[in-house]
Amino acid sequence: MSAVLRVPTVLRPAMGGASVIAVEGSTVGEVLFKLTTTYPAVKGQLLNDDGTLHRFLNVYVNDDDVRYLGGVNALITNNDEITLLPAVAGGLW
């Protein structure tokens, strides 16, 4: 399946500056695995060593949080839009 991946600003330098990338895969896990193969510098920010999603990464397929769709097993269909949203921490008390 072919989908579009929206790349957040913080990950763009490690992904050749791209804001949108065409990706292939039938699940979120397949897409992210292929992505980390092409751009190995982002692997630690996207996936844990066991292949699960990094806990500070939110992933959406067509605006639906993949945590409620099966995580890395969430299915991807043609023309889906995948959005990566790294969690941001910090601030003033």
| Domain CATH code at residue 40 | 3.10.20.30
Q: Strands 2-6 and 81-86: what pairing?
A: parallel
**CA 38 to mean position of chain CA atoms:** 13
Residue 13 lies inside a defined structural domain of this protein: yes
Is the Cβ–Cβ distance between 31 and 76 less than 8 Å?
A: yes
Residue 56 lies inside a defined structural domain of this protein: yes
- Give one word for 6, left, alpha or beta, with left for phi > 0 and alpha for psi -120 to 50: beta
In this structure, of 6-15, 22-31, 54-63, 80-89, the range with the lowest mean pLDDT score is 80-89
User: Which domain does 17 fall in, by range?
Assistant: 2-86
Domain count, the chain: 1
Residue 25 lies inside a defined structural domain of this protein: yes
Cα–Cα distance between 53 and 69 in angstroms, integer?
A: 13
Residue 60 lies inside a defined structural domain of this protein: yes
Residue 42 lies inside a defined structural domain of this protein: yes
Exposure on the CB side of residue 49, measured as CA atoms within 13 A: 0
Cα–Cα distance between 83 and 46 in angstroms, integer?
A: 12
Residue 45 lies inside a defined structural domain of this protein: yes
Residue 92 lies inside a defined structural domain of this protein: no
pLDDT at residue 17, as a whole number: 94
Residue 93 lies inside a defined structural domain of this protein: no
In this structure, of 41-45, 58-62, 80-84, the range with the lowest mean pLDDT score is 41-45
